[in-house]
Amino acid sequence: MTAGRNWDRSRDQARLARQGSEPAAGMLFPPSAPPKIRPSKASLRAEAEAAFAAARTVLKRLACSCGHSATIRLTPAQAERGRFRCKCGRPIP
């Protein structure tokens, strides 16, 4: 047998949490803030993926002495290596 637990109070607390309570006569509650609209998981995933992709890619403008030029997207590891060749086969500094 369990002793020391006030089951009446426990039931009352659970009921108040579940159903809420009405204000006493003359008591007014302050106005509540408008409810926050929770973003969907899909929008959060898309936002995180865009931020992650932007942090991982680097734009670099390459120009060869032969006249070819290009803007390329690189990962940080590729940008650090920095060994690029033009379409004509010449190394780009």
Q: What is the pLDDT of residues 17-64, one digit of tens each?
A: 888 777 666 666 667 778 889 999 999 999 998 888 777 778 888 888
Question: Token digits for 91?
Answer: 């190394």
| pLDDT on residue 43 | 95
Indicate whether 86 pLDDT > 60: yes
Q: Tell the residue number behind the tokens 């959060």, with chain if given.
A: 44
Which amino acid is present at 57? T
| pLDDT on residue 5 | 84
| pLDDT mean over 1-23 | 81
Question: Token digits for 84?
Answer: 């690029």
Domain boundaries, the chain: 57-93
| pLDDT on residue 44 | 95
Residue 80: which pLDDT band, with cuts at 50, 70 and 90? confident
- CA 11 – CA 23 distance, rounded (Å): 20
| pLDDT on residue 85 | 83
Phi/psi region, residue 47 (left: phi>0; alpha: psi -120 to 50; beta: rest), is: alpha
Residue 88: which pLDDT band, with cuts at 50, 70 and 90? confident
